[in-house]
């Protein structure tokens, strides 16, 4: 009898363990004691059925759990192989985000904290690039127990996401219409941005011009552009959309609305150089709050979703796998910059 089978047989007298748990724990103990190492091939499911005598579905369930923990990888027509010796991992999670913006850093840090050390997280960034997204998915397909993905909002992405079982996929940040069995925890952009701009209308109307920094074919949500255009039309406000910051667009009597932090910092730097007073000479509004915006220049007014709440709910989904379809509230934080 092989040492691996001995480990499994030794656990059969522990009645608190189900049959599939005996197999999982036996293989884990074989890894921990050096019987199995990275690159070793496990017995096939047919071999295990023949040797141990449990039903085929029991071994399929056990091998699936080992794959989800990131310990085992199945290779088509070749069998199952040990790919990791990190047996303390409960689940291997793929986290796919747009980029490591400050607000997504807040999401990641909270997500990591809520899951704890027994969950292994690998993080990837697609930068709103469909080709890169497809490459990432091809490389990580069937290698993780859970996928938490901020999707590109394009129809061509849907078939790729549908290759992942609904109980192993959570969409976060951006909403993408998927079959009803799929879960999401997202933010809404157009209606909430329009509503918050309407709340700020008395402050914005004190200025001569309202500028939105927005560039197409980036990861900036187009719904914010739609909300901005609706707002300036409905409230009869002089406004314009500018793709990039340049020093000559910085003028007194203007409110600057920045979705990207890179534009925000350039406006603040330019204002300091020209000795413009934030909140009187020029106004500033930003998307996605963080502690720096709360403090800088006496506080920057922001429209922002609670990314820590989003991360907490995402971590809970990973742990309990209960279906969830939720839009996270967006808040307006009025500070001295308007």
Average pLDDT over the chain, rounded to an integer = 91
Mention the CATH class of domain 3-82: mainly alpha
Can you tell me the mean pLDDT for 189-203? 96
Who has greater pLDDT, 9 or 277? 277
Does residue 74 register a pLDDT over 80?
yes
Strand pairing category for 146-149 and 183-186: unpaired
Q: CB within 8 A of 298, min separation 6: which ones?
A: 278, 279, 335, 336, 337
Between helix 307-320 and helix 102-115 the angle, nearest 10°, is: 40
Q: Is 229 exposed, middle or buried (0-12, 13-18, 19+ CB in 10 A)?
A: middle
Does residue 201 register a pLDDT over 90?
yes
Distance between CA atoms of 270 and 264, rounded to whole angstroms? 10
Can you tell me the mean pLDDT for 13-37? 87
Can you tell me the mean pLDDT for 236-244? 95
pTM here is: 0.80
Does residue 77 register a pLDDT over 80?
no
Please check whether the two domains, 91-188+307-329 and 190-305, share a CATH topology: yes
Distance between CA atoms of 88 and 234, rounded to whole angstroms? 57
**CATH code linked to domain 190-305:** 3.40.50.2300
Can you tell me the mean pLDDT for 220-240? 96
Domains of the chain, residue spans: 3-82, 91-188+307-329, 190-305
pLDDT number for residue 142: 78
pLDDT number for residue 15: 78
- Say which CATH architecture domain 91-188+307-329 belongs to: 3-Layer(aba) Sandwich (3.40)
Can you tell me the mean pLDDT for 274-292? 93
Distance between CA atoms of 323 and 95, rounded to whole angstroms? 18
pLDDT number for residue 17: 81
Band the pLDDT of 1: cuts 50, 70, 90. Answer: low
């Amino acid at each position: 009898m092989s040492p691996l089978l001995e480990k499994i047989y030794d656990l059969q007298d522990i009645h608190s363990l189900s049959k599939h748990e005996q197999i999982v724990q036996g293989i884990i103990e074989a890894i921990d004691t050096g019987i199995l190492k990275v690159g070793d091939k496990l017995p096939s499911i047919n071999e295990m059925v023949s040797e141990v005598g449990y039903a085929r579905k029991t071994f399929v369930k056990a091998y699936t759990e080992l794959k989800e923990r990131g310990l085992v990888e199945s290779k088509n027509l070749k069998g199952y192989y040990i790919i990791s010796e990190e047996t303390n991992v409960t689940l291997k999670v793929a986290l796919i985000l747009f980029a490591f913006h400050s607000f997504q850093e807040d999401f990641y840090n909270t997500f990591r904290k809520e899951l704890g050390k027994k969950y292994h997280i690998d993080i990837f960034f697609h930068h709103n690039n469909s080709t890169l997204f497809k490459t990432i998915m091809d490389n990580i397909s069937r290698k993780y127990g859970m996928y938490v993905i901020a999707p590109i909002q394009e129809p061509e992405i849907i078939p790729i996401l549908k290759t992942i079982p609904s109980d192993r996929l959570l969409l976060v940040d951006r909403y993408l219409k998927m079959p009803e069995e799929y879960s999401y925890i997202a933010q809404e952009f157009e209606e909430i941005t329009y509503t918050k701009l309407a709340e700020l209308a008395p402050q914005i109307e004190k200025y001569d011009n309202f500028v939105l920094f927005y560039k197409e074919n980036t990861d900036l949500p187009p719904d914010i552009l739609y909300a901005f255009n609706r707002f300036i039309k409905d409230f009869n406000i002089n406004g314009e959309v500018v793709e990039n910051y340049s020093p000559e667009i910085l003028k007194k009597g203007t409110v600057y609305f920045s979705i990207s932090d890179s534009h925000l910092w350039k406006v603040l730097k330019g204002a300091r150089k020209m000795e413009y007073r934030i909140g009187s000479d020029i106004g500033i509004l930003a998307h996605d709050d963080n502690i720096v915006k709360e403090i800088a220049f006496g506080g920057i007014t922001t429209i922002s979703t609670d990314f820590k709440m989003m991360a907490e709910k995402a971590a809970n989904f990973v742990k309990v796998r209960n279906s969830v379809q939720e839009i996270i509230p967006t808040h307006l934080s009025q500070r001295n910059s308007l």
